[in-house]
Chains A and B, each alone.
Chain A
Amino acid sequence: MASENNPALRLTNISKRFGDVVALEKLTFDVRQGGFFVLFGPSSVGKTTTLRAICGLETVDSGSIEIDGKDATLAPIRDRGVAMVFQSFALYPHLTLSENFAYPLREAGVSTNEIKKRVGETVEMLRLSHRLDNKPATLSGGEQQRVALGRALIRHPKILLLDEPLTNLDAKLRHDMRAELKRLHRQLGMTIVFATPDELEALSMGEDIAVMETGHVVQQGTPDELYERPRNLYVAAKIGSPHMNLLEAKAQPDNKGLDTPFGPLVVHHRDLPADEPLIMGIRPTDIKIAKNGEPHILTKVRLIEPLGDLTIVSFNAGGSHLRIVLSEADAIGIQPGQDLGVVIAPEYVHLFRKADGVAIANAA
C-alpha cells in the first residue's frame, strides 16, 4: 500500500489509566493525510491525554498508535515528527521571540542559514516581524499564541497537535485565530489534530470531528454528519447551538407516529420500538411558526432573547420547554405570554431510545 493512502495517524484501542482513573478507554480514530481533525468534547474526557499520547509525552497502557502507516506506539518523542502547541503556550520565557523560534531548530541540527530562512518565513506568515526581539512576557495573548504556533510550525512537522490553543484568548481574538489557523492549514497542507471543548470551534474548523465521551470516541464524522445524523443523545446534545430540544415521547401502537407532550406527531421513522420510552430531538432551527390556516401546535411564549440578526424564542408546549431560532424579521411582534402556533417538520425529527441514548434511523 502506498504511503499516501495510509492515514496520517491511526489510533487503535488506546487505553490509559492514571491510578484508578480511566483516562482513555479503547480510543480509536483515523486522521487522513493533510486533514484538519478535531477532537471535541467537554473538559476531562481525555482530549489532552490523547494528544500527549500521540506526541509521546504519555505512554499508553494498551493499543497502538500508527504515524504514516508505521507503528509509533513506543517510538521516542523525537522520532515521531510531531509538534504540539500547548494550551498554556509553554513559550521559553527567557528567550526572545526569534530565539524561541530558532531554538528547536538549532537543537535539531538545522544549519544557521536554513534557520534564518525559516524564522523569516514563519514571522512573515504569522505577522510577527516587528516583535522579533521581544521576550514572550511582553507580548499580548494573541501574539503569544501565534509564537507558540510558529514554534511548532517552523519544524515542518508531519502532524501538528493543538491542545485547546484558543481557550486562553478573548472572543474577538479567538474568532480571528480560527480564520488564521484555517488559512495556515490550507497554505501548509499539514495534518492538524485540534482538541477543543468549544463546539463552535469544532464545527467551524474541523473537516473531520471526533466527539469524545469519557475516554472514547462516540462518533466521528464531518460537521454536517454530526449535525444531521447524531449517533446518540450525547452527540445530539453537544453539537449545535442553541442546543437541540429534547422531549420525552412514545411510539403510537400503530407505528405511525409519536405521542408527544403536545399531542400526536407523525414522523418518518420506521420500526419504532413500541412500549419503549423514547427521546425526541428537534433542532431550534427546525421548528417554524405556522402560516395562516396550517395545522399547528399551540404554544405560549415564555422568553425572548434577541441576538441581533437572530432571536431565540422559548415557549411552553404541553408542559415542556422548547426553543426556536427565528430571524429578526420573523420575531418582530412576538411578546412573552402570547400564544404562538408552531410546526414541526417530521423529516427533521431525531429519535433516540431513552434507555441507552442510541439514535433510531430517520428514513427521510
Chain B
Amino acid sequence: MTSNSPSSGDKLLTLRWDNWLLALLAGIIAVPIATLLLPGFLAVVVAGIFIALVVITAIVNAWSRHIGGLLVAPAIAVLVVMNIFPLLWSLGLSFYSYRADRQTLRFLGTRNYERLITDPVVWDRLTTTAYLVVLTVAVQMVIGFLLALLFSKQFPLRRYLLILVLTPMMLSYVAVGAFFRYYYDPTFGLVSQIANLFTTEPFVLISSTAGAFAAIVIADAWMWAPFVMLLVLAGLVSVPKHLYEAASVDRVPGWRRFWWITFPYVKGLLLLALLFRTIEAFKLFDVVFILTDGGQSTETIALYVYRQAIQFNKTSYSSSLSYILLFTVIVLTNLYLYLANRRSKEA
C-alpha cells in the first residue's frame, strides 16, 4: 500500500486486509500518479494490482462480517472476472493508445473520446442503429401487443399455440439469424420462392437498403415480439374483472372500456417492455452480423465496435466507443425510469 498515514486509530486509515475503502482510496490516488510517472505498460499493471487489491479486501471484509461472504464469493469471483474487471480494465484502456496485437501502450487522456465524437463514421453508424431501434421496437411492440390481446382470450389450442409463439424468444440469436438467412436466400429461400410466383425476376430482399433494413427488423421482431406479448399479457390478466362489469353497468362502450380500464393496467408493463427492448435493440449485433454483415449500410454501432476491436485490433479506440454506448444506454434507461416513476406517482 502506497498511501498510509501513520496516525492510526482512525478506522478508515487502519492497514488491514479487510479495509477495502482504504484500498479503493489508495487506488484512486495512486493510479493517476502511476499513469503520469511510469511508462504506459507498468501503469496498467499498477492499475490491475489495485483493482485486485480492492476486490480481495472487499471479499475479506464480507467474510469477516458474515459467514455468507464466502458463500457468495464464487459468484462474486465470476462476476469480477467476467464483468467488473473487464469493465474497469477497458475503461482504463480507453484513455490509452493500445492495440491488442502490439504490446505498446501510450497514455492519450481523453483524445480517443474526442476523436470518436467528431468522427462522421461513428455518427453514421449511430444513425443506422437509431433507425433500426425505432423500427424494430415499434414493430415488436405493436405485434406483441396484438398477440397479447389475442392470447388474453380463451380459444381452443390456446396453450399449445402460446408455447409455439414463445419459442423464438428462447432461440439463440445466431439460430434466428441463420433461419432468416435461409428464408431470404435469393435462389431457394422461402421469400424469393413466393416472390417468384408473381415475378420472374430474381428477388433479392437484401439487395437494397430498405430491403436489408426490413429483413433485419422482421427477424428481430419475430424473435422479440413474444417477449412484449408476455409482459403485456401479464398486465391484461391482472385487470380485475369486476371493473369491466362496473363499466358495462355504467354504460361504457367496449373500446372506451379498453382505453380507460385495460390500458392503465398495461401501461407500466408496456413501458418496461419498451425499456428492455430499446436497450437490447441498441446492442443489435448478431442478427445483423449474420444477415447482412453490415452491408447495404446496415452496420450498427455494435457491429462497428466489433469490427474496430476484433478485425482492426483498435482495442483502446473501441473501448472508448463501448463506453460511449454504455453511457448512452444508461442515460436512456434513467430517462425511462424517471418517466415511469413520474407516471406511477401520478397513478
Which A residues contact B (CB, under 8 angstroms)?
52, 55-57, 77-78, 82-84, 86, 88, 90, 92-95, 103-104, 107-108, 135, 151, 155
The one of B245, B264, B347 that contacts A90, using a Cβ cutoff of 8 Å: B245
The answer to whether the Cβ of B253 comes within 8 Å of any Cβ in the partner chain is yes
Contacts of B247 in A (CB 8 A): 92
The one of B248, B256, B264 that contacts A77, using a Cβ cutoff of 8 Å: B248
Contacts of B240 in A (CB 8 A): 88, 90
Contacts of B256 in A (CB 8 A): 107
Nearest 6 A-B pairs (CB), nearest first?
A104-B250, A90-B246, A94-B264, A78-B251, A90-B242, A107-B252
Distance, CA A44 to CA B345, complexed state (A): 40
Contacts of B327 in A (CB 8 A): none
Interface membership of chain B positions 247-262, coded 1 if the CB is closer than 8 angstroms to chain A and 0 otherwise: 1111111001000110
Whether A86 and B252, one on each chain, are in contact in the complex, defined by CB atoms closer than 8 angstroms, is no
Question: Would you list which residues of chain B between 282 and 331 have a CB under 8 Å from chain A?
Answer: none
Nearest-neighbour CB distance to chain A for B262, whole angstroms, equals 11
Whether B251 and A107, one on each chain, are in contact in the complex, defined by CB atoms closer than 8 angstroms, is yes
The answer to whether the Cβ of B237 comes within 8 Å of any Cβ in the partner chain is no
Number of interface residues of B (CB under 8 A): 17
Question: Would you list which residues of chain B between 211 and 247 have a CB under 8 Å from chain A?
Answer: 240, 242-243, 245-247
Nearest-neighbour CB distance to chain A for B345, whole angstroms, equals 11
Distance, CA A95 to CA B247, complexed state (A): 13
Distance, CA A135 to CA B344, complexed state (A): 12
Contact A155-B242, Cβ < 8 Å, known A107-B256, A135-B347: no
Contacts of B251 in A (CB 8 A): 77-78, 104, 107-108
Whether A92 and B248, one on each chain, are in contact in the complex, defined by CB atoms closer than 8 angstroms, is no
Whether B264 and A151, one on each chain, are in contact in the complex, defined by CB atoms closer than 8 angstroms, is no
Show 16 A/B contacts (Cβ-Cβ < 8 Å), sorted by A: A57-B245, A77-B248, A77-B249, A78-B251, A84-B246, A86-B242, A86-B246, A88-B242, A90-B245, A90-B246, A92-B246, A92-B260, A107-B250, A107-B251, A107-B253, A107-B256
Contacts of B246 in A (CB 8 A): 84, 86, 90, 92
Nearest-neighbour CB distance to chain A for B143, whole angstroms, equals 26
Main secondary structure of the interface of B (DSSP, over half): helix
Whether A84 and B253, one on each chain, are in contact in the complex, defined by CB atoms closer than 8 angstroms, is no
Distance, CA A334 to CA B233, complexed state (A): 66
Distance, CA A52 to CA B249, complexed state (A): 10
Contacts of B250 in A (CB 8 A): 83, 103-104, 107, 151, 155
Contacts of B242 in A (CB 8 A): 86, 88, 90
Distance, CA A55 to CA B245, complexed state (A): 10
Whether B249 and A83, one on each chain, are in contact in the complex, defined by CB atoms closer than 8 angstroms, is yes
Closest to B263 in A: A94
Contacts of A57 in B (CB 8 A): 245, 248-249
Contacts of A82 in B (CB 8 A): 249
Whether B347 and A55, one on each chain, are in contact in the complex, defined by CB atoms closer than 8 angstroms, is no
Nearest-neighbour CB distance to chain A for B255, whole angstroms, equals 12
Distance, CA A78 to CA B254, complexed state (A): 12
Distance, CA A250 to CA B240, complexed state (A): 55
Contacts of B253 in A (CB 8 A): 107
Contacts of B249 in A (CB 8 A): 55-57, 77, 82-84
Closest to A78 in B: B251
Distance, CA A104 to CA B252, complexed state (A): 7
Contacts of B264 in A (CB 8 A): 93-94
Distance, CA A55 to CA B247, complexed state (A): 12
Contacts of A135 in B (CB 8 A): 347
Nearest-neighbour CB distance to chain B for A86, whole angstroms, equals 5
